[in-house]
Amino acid sequence: MQRNATTQYPILLVHGLFGFESIGNIALFHGIKQALRQAGARVFIPYLSATHSNELRGEQLLAQIDRVLAGTGAAKINVIGHSQGALAARYAAAMQPKKVASVTSVSGPNHGSELADYLRKALIPDRLPEHVAATVATLFAEFLSLLSGHPQLPQNAIAALNALTTESVGTFNDKYPQGLPNTWGGTGKELVNGVRYFSWSGILKGSLVDEGPNLFDPLHSLCRAFSRYFTTEAEENDGLVGRYSSHLGTVIRSDYPLDHMDTINQTAGLVRKGVDPVDLYVQHAERLRNLGL
């Protein structure tokens, strides 16, 4: 059956930490842009710094929203942000709500990441390990930007780490509270200042030995390893972000059996059974279309 995801406004897919559009044949949102376009949506992937603060990445996003609006003649944009990309999307909508029709957070750390808290405590400011980690991570981000064709983008790994801790995101939320739940684990207002807010995310379920073919996915194994550093949401996280920390606006679902990278279809289409991450995006575009967005 032919799907109809012909949204009124174009869709921007915004990457998170260490993200990019594509490097060679490797697309970060694997198969997602193509599926949305086949269903009738106009889809763009902006290029943002792979590592930097939420506000700087948000300003970069605003500049590219203007380019898409000018190029398409559209009045607004539907923004779907994965991971830290959700925070950039929220910033853009808070600063320029008339240009944004909807913000959708996919596995977004909307209340911070416990993994970032652990790393921040481990890397004591002005101590040698922090300098080494910052240099290596920033060089890696610069390398990714070079390979993806955007070497001019500024990179700052420590700014990115600081931006993702629960304390820093709390400060961010005080400035840009649109769509946030009033209670932990609750839902937020869907419509704020003319912008609609949505979210979905996944959690790790069972043990690694229960994963079948997914056992051989190195990204999934990495998420399993990172999951050990969660305490508040020890049994309810995707390896990088806690389930309830991801809530924003109307929560479509926050316990899909997907890890953090599965939600952008990284290797998931090859090894995972059951939930189709790509179809979640097409379903959501249909949802936006039905809302006149």
* CB within 8 Å of 286: residues ≥ 6 apart: 3, 4, 5, 39
Q: Is 24 helix (H, G, I), strand (E, B) or coil?
A: coil
What is the 3-class SS of 60-73, one letter each residue? HHHHHHHHHHHHHC
Q: Is 11 helix (H, G, I), strand (E, B) or coil?
A: strand
Strand partners, 242: 237
Catalytic residue among 30, 82, 260, 284: 260
Alpha-helical regions (H) of the chain: 32-38, 54-72, 84-95, 114-122, 128-147, 157-164, 166-175, 218-227, 268-271, 277-290
122 burial via Cβ count (<10 Å: 0-12, 13-18, 19+): exposed
The count of other CB atoms within 10 Å of the CB of residue 213 is 11
Mark whether 82 is an active-site residue.
Answer: no
Of 156, 34, 170, 30, nearest to 110 by C-alpha is 170
Evaluate the CA torsion angle 30, 153, 260, 24 in order and state its sign. Answer: positive
Catalytic residue among 217, 238, 259, 262: 238
Mark whether 260 is an active-site residue.
Answer: yes
Alpha carbon distance 86, 91 (integer Å): 9
Phi, psi angle pair for 42, to nearest 5°: -90, 120
Catalytic residue among 52, 53, 82, 83: 83
Mark whether 238 is an active-site residue.
Answer: yes
Active site members: 83, 238, 260
